Amino acid sequence: MVVRDERFGVVGVSTCKVWEKAEIVGGRDEIRRWMEEFWGKLRRSASEEVDVVINFGGGRLKTKVLYFKEQNIWACSIKVPSEALSTYQFHRAVPIYWQPFGVGKPSPDSVVSIAVEINIPREGKYPMLGGALIKDASERVWLAHTGRIGGGMFWKWYKGDCIEIWDGGRRYRYALIDYICSETLLKRIANFVHTVYTIKRSRVQL
């Protein structure tokens, strides 16, 4: 059974294009600049900030998240390594922007579960992480995801835009979210978060 949510674009036409002259952004300063732009836009669009406890694979973390009422999602960003997240073994080796997203409005001090992480390395290119910044031939920088979710279920059910790029002599496939400077960025992020949430629920109900 696949749970569908027409409001957030879970049902759609899958298009996977090969992007020529595209590359993964790996420079520390460039990544930091785009992450600042990204979170600046999200903070300006947030409805409120809520104190929560995030339940994740390595434990729990008390922090603040941004809630977006119209999109009905929450978001958070923390620089890792962090003592609070030291149980994330891989993240201790590769410093990242840990970026969990969830569905629904959290109550103050409640425990929330993550729908998807769009983690970006703070420096370098690590396709094994969930998230990536992709620079296209026009120099626009896009937020993308590898689809490493749900033991392979993601690409079976995902119906959104995807791209294939060559970088360093290897081919990579990414789910395309939106470019950072886009006016529709928050809407497209919400589409992606709700899509992954639906895929995970569908997997449980199969």
Q: What is the pLDDT of residues 23-79, one digit of tens each?
A: 999 999 999 999 999 999 999 999 999 999 999 877 788 999 999 999 999 999 987
Write out pLDDT tens, residues 4-13. 334 334 434 4
Bridge-partner residues for 35, per DSSP? Answer: none
Domain boundaries, the chain: 6-205
Residue type (1 letter), 185: L
pLDDT tens string 79-118:
775 555 554 544 556 788 999 999 999 999 999 999 999 9
> Helix, strand, or coil here: 44?
helix
